Every structure is written in C-alpha cells, then in structure tokens.
C-alpha cells in the first residue's frame, strides 16, 4: 500500500554475472558487449510542471504515502496515483488522505488539499488486479480554491501506444525533494508499459509519466506494484480502462 516493494535478488544476480564475464566465463551463445549505460534520476527543478506533482499524506501524522499529481478535469479537483497507494489490503479506500503539491524540504509551500473521494476500478477493489492499478482522487477546495486553479493540471492521454518519450517525476521516501528522469517507454506486456531509469525507489508509486506535449500517459504502478527494482518502473498502459475510470471520477 505505502509504495513499491524492493527485493535484492536482481542486484545479486547482476553482480554474479559481471564476475563471470570478467573471468571470461560468459554464458554460452552470448556476445560479450558493453551493457547500456543506465539513466539515473536527478533532482527536479521547481517549476510549474513540477508543482503539479506532490506527496500523499495521512492527516493523522503517520507521514507520506506515495506520489500523486493533478490531472485536468471539468471539476478542476482531480488527482491521479496508483490504486495500491490509496487502498487497504481488502481493497477499501483509505481515509484521511491529503495532497501536498510541490512538496520540498519537509514543507508544503503550496498548501495541502484533503482528499474527499477515492475512485478505483472494481477489478482492483475486489482482487487487486495489477491491470487496474490506477486511482483518481477527488480533492476538497481549500479557502475556496480548487487544486487545479492553484497549480494547473496535466491532460489525460490515452491509447497512445508504446515507445513514448516521457518524463517521470516522483518522491522517494528518503528524499525531501522530487526526482525526475526522461526516457522512452517500452512494452512490458500488451497492457503494461516499462520505464528504465535509476532512483525510483519506495515512495515513487503514483509518479506521473508525461509526454513532451504534457499529456499524462501513465503512473508508476501495475506490474509488481510498479517494479521490484529502483532501476525499472512499470505502469498500466493508459487505454480505454483508464478512460472509463476517469469518466467515473468526473461524473
């Protein structure tokens, strides 16, 4: 629920493989060629686009939950994140959530918006189906202002396929500033996208994937609840399933 789970078996396997190659013991039939250089996320610059990304907080003082971002909507009050961030083990929505956009250095300079309603697909709420690991959150206004009026929102992009150039921005639990990285997506499966860049560890579930024209085409989640390595992240491919959920959230 509170973010990506991590395992270390992949790192151990990579270390063993590297040692074998160094000793001239590459697997039979493999070519000994350099591995591609892995991209690594950097600290995100504070600007208008980054301010639309923030942390989800539990208002009981229990701390940060995941990353979320503002998505353009008719009510100008909508967020998007991963479903596993905002539901309990039984698939029921969490209560007492708040969103702090532009969170930096332990502070919420742009305010904090309470979450009024959590919208997830029935496939997630009844079976935690990773094909539906997306959630929309309806926020309450603060001092008469709606969240999108305060920071803007990213338009939802659906059915754009794979191989997309995207920028992913999120908040690891061990950072007080957002990190960001740009790379091209690939297909993990027919319905799941992959994004390869190091640094996206616990806390980055729900991080938005934005194309150069600003369309929101994914969030970290889905397969392996977003990935079991900070170097590889996943998202449900934003298609008609996500469009239908968005329509439910904005109805």
| Cβ atoms 82, 206 nearer than 8 A | yes
Q: What pLDDT does 54 receive?
A: 97
Domains present along the chain, CATH in parentheses: 50-153+243-250 (2.40.10.10), 155-239 (2.40.10.10)
Residue 63 pLDDT greater than 50, yes or no: yes
Rounded to the nearest integer, the mean pLDDT of the chain is 87
Q: In this prediction, what percent of the chain has a pLDDT beyond 70?
A: 84
Residue 186 pLDDT greater than 50, yes or no: yes
Conformational region of residue 246, where left means phi above 0, alpha means psi within -120 to 50, and beta covers everything else: alpha
The whole-model pTM stands at 0.86
Give CA–CA dist 55/82, Å, rounded: 12
- Picking from 35-39, 75-79, 105-109, 125-129, which range would have the lowest pLDDT averaged per residue? 35-39
**Would you place residue 38 in the very low, low, confident or very high pLDDT band (cuts 50, 70, 90)?**
confident
Q: Is 47 exposed, middle or buried (CB count within 10 Å of its CB: 0-12, 13-18, 19+)?
A: exposed
Radius of gyration from C-alpha coordinates of the chain: 18
CA proximity to 233, closest of 178, 172, 174: 172
Q: What pLDDT does 23 receive?
A: 32
Q: What pLDDT does 36 receive?
A: 55
Q: What pLDDT does 106 receive?
A: 87
Q: What pLDDT does 207 receive?
A: 98
């Amino acid at each position: 629920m509170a973010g990506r789970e991590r395992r270390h078996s992949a790192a151990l396997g990579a270390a063993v493989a590297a040692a074998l190659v160094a000793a001239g013991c590459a697997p039979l039939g493999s070519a000994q060629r350099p591995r591609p250089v892995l991209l690594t996320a950097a600290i995100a610059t504070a600007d208008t686009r980054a301010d639309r990304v923030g942390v989800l907080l539990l208002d009981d003082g229990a701390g940060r939950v995941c990353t979320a971002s503002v998505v353009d909507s008719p009510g100008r009050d909508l967020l998007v994140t991963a479903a596993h961030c905002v539901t309990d083990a039984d698939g029921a929505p969490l209560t007492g959530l708040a969103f702090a956009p532009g969170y930096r250095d332990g502070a919420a300079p742009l305010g904090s918006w309470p979450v009024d309603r959590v919208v997830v697909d029935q496939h997630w709420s009844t079976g935690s189906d990773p094909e539906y690991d997306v959630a929309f959150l309806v926020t309450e206004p603060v001092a008469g202002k709606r969240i999108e009026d305060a920071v803007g929102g990213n338009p939802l992009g659906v059915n754009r396929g794979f191989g997309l150039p995207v920028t992913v921005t999120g908040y690891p639990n061990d950072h007080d500033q957002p990190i960001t990285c740009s790379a091209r997506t690939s297909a993990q499966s027919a319905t799941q996208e992959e994004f390869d860049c190091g640094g996206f560890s616990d806390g980055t579930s729900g991080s938005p994937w934005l194309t150069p024209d600003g369309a929101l085409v994914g969030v970290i989640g889905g397969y392996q609840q977003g990935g079991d390595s900070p170097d590889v992240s996943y998202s449900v491919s934003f298609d008609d399933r996500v469009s239908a959920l968005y329509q439910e959230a904005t109805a």
